[in-house]
Amino acid sequence: MSKSSDNTDNNVTREVEVAVIGAGTAGQNAFRQASKTIENIVIINDGFWSTTCIQVGCMPSKLLIAAADRAHEANHSDEFGVHATAQIDGQQVMKRVRDERSHFASYVKDQVDSWPEDKKISGRAHINKQGLIEVNDELIKANKIIVATGSSPYIPDNWSDKLGDTLLTSDTVFELTDLPGTMAVVGAGAIGLELAQAFKRLGVEVTLFNRDKRVAGLKDDDISNKAIVCLNRELTMHLGSKIHNVGTQTDADNDRISAFIEYEDSAGNAQQWQGEYVLVATGRRNNIEQLGIENLDVELDDKNRPKKLDKKTGQIDNLNVYIVGDANANIPLLHVASDEGYSAGNIVCENKADAYIRPPAIPFSIVFCSPQIVNVGMSLPEIQQDPELEYVIGRVSFDNQGRSRIMGVNCGLLHIYGCKKTDRVLGASMVGPDAEYIGHILATAITNDLSVKALLDTPFYHPTILEGLRTALRDVQHKMKIPYQYHDTQEDNF
């Protein structure tokens, strides 16, 4: 891969067949797979030798949500005749989040510790103009390079300086030793929704801001509107708001520093919020800008995303450069990063003919708020933009669905997009209780090309929330005018 001259080569301290830069989910998978057949390999990592998921993402956020759900159930059981008030110990809540996070991280640490020391380098890598990797006091020449440098929270310009210690991100929020009294969350994507609701349920006064009048990036207007209705039962949300300024001020009474947000609400009125912390959840950006990847003839677009990306392997054009996981900004989800790292680790091996390349996963995302928000397969706009697709929308509301009502979680809506020509599920969007399980079933159906009839031929146990899925599938089939023995949907509820 190197473009170095003979003079530069004289300064090379190590030559390797493969260099993996980054030791998150994608990087670790790539290193493990390539190491099975390649001896001359090195992995370089800056920061913790763990994964975004374990350290600052999936796992600590779900630990916080688990505590929040316990508190919410205790505080909202009056309708069942169960009267209680949760006593929340904020320090214990946050300590458990970190303790369990450390437990999960220990498995990764054990794995990394098992790798040969001479194949691990702790330090920040930079690719110079000769295509060589500079790290610490080494200059490494690699025939193939796998970039898996992950991502970092995006913070709007000057917000760090203006907010100082009152600014939190998903990378720092879990380091709080106690629950704050007040918090603003900026951004109503997956991270913002999950954390805003969790802190709210744990007794924090939370205000959620979002520039658009939608949540979770939902592209089906009906599902987005329903999600807003459901979430508004708990959260104070200023959707369609425009933030003009942020900063800090000192309280004259107790010299405490607080944060403020000056914003314009959806009606155009000037408003101000004031509180302890501002949690910025405005998305993440790939960590590739300072790497020097352009010195390997890799072209990036205006958002630092690699052009000419093979989404199966992460390979860039016909170069011996592979960009995988969050670093390529394709689909920033753990299972996608895992598959991309696995595939890249296989394809760099000499025996490419037998390399197993994982097929690209269908789009599938879950927001673990309550009710959950799930998208799977093609989105409604994507379907509508394809003139060849004749589609119908199967629908079910969870507002009066039997099991949902029994459990007191009856708020939600499911849309299934079915293809009339093929009797296949094109995609789905939903907000509802246990939507993660419905999403997995539909993802399996799309991946394995199952027909709507085949799905309806499987059993749906009564009474379960999954009977709502059957109702929506029957609606798809009815609208496609495909005969089916049972169409009475009343049994789904009772």
Residues of the chain with CATH 3.50.50.60: 6-47+123-152+285-354, 159-282
CA 334/CA 350 separation, integer angstroms:
27
pLDDT of residue 353: 60
CA 5/CA 130 separation, integer angstroms:
7
pLDDT of residue 488: 47
Query: How many Cβ atoms sit within 10 Å of the Cβ of residue 223?
Result: 26
Residues of the chain with CATH 3.30.390.30: 364-492
Residue 270, phi then psi, degrees to nearest 5? -75, 130
pLDDT of residue 4: 56
pLDDT in tens, 354-401: 567 777 778 999 999 999 999 999 999 999 999 999 999 999 999 999
Dihedral over Cα of 91, 94, 98, 103: its sign: positive
Low-confidence ranges of the chain (pLDDT < 70): 1-10, 254, 351-355, 482-494
CB 480 within 8 A of CB 420: yes
CB 333 within 8 A of CB 15: no
Instruction: Spell out the long-range contacts of 111-118 with Cβ–Cβ below 8 A and sequence spacing 24 or more.
Output: 111/28, 112/23, 112/28, 112/49, 115/31, 115/35, 115/43
Q: What is the CATH number of domain 159-282?
A: 3.50.50.60
Fold of 6-47+123-152+285-354: FAD/NAD(P)-binding domain (3.50.50)
pLDDT of residue 484: 47
Fold of 364-492: Enolase-like; domain 1 (3.30.390)
CB 20 within 8 A of CB 49: no
The length of the chain, given as a count of residues: 494
CB neighbours of 67 closer than 8 A, spacing ≥ 6? Answer: 93, 96, 97, 198, 202
- Please report which helix (H) or strand (E) contains residue 279, including its range: strand 277-280
The identity of residue 275, as a single letter, is G
pLDDT of residue 252: 72
pLDDT in tens, 92-119: 999 999 999 999 999 999 999 999 999 9
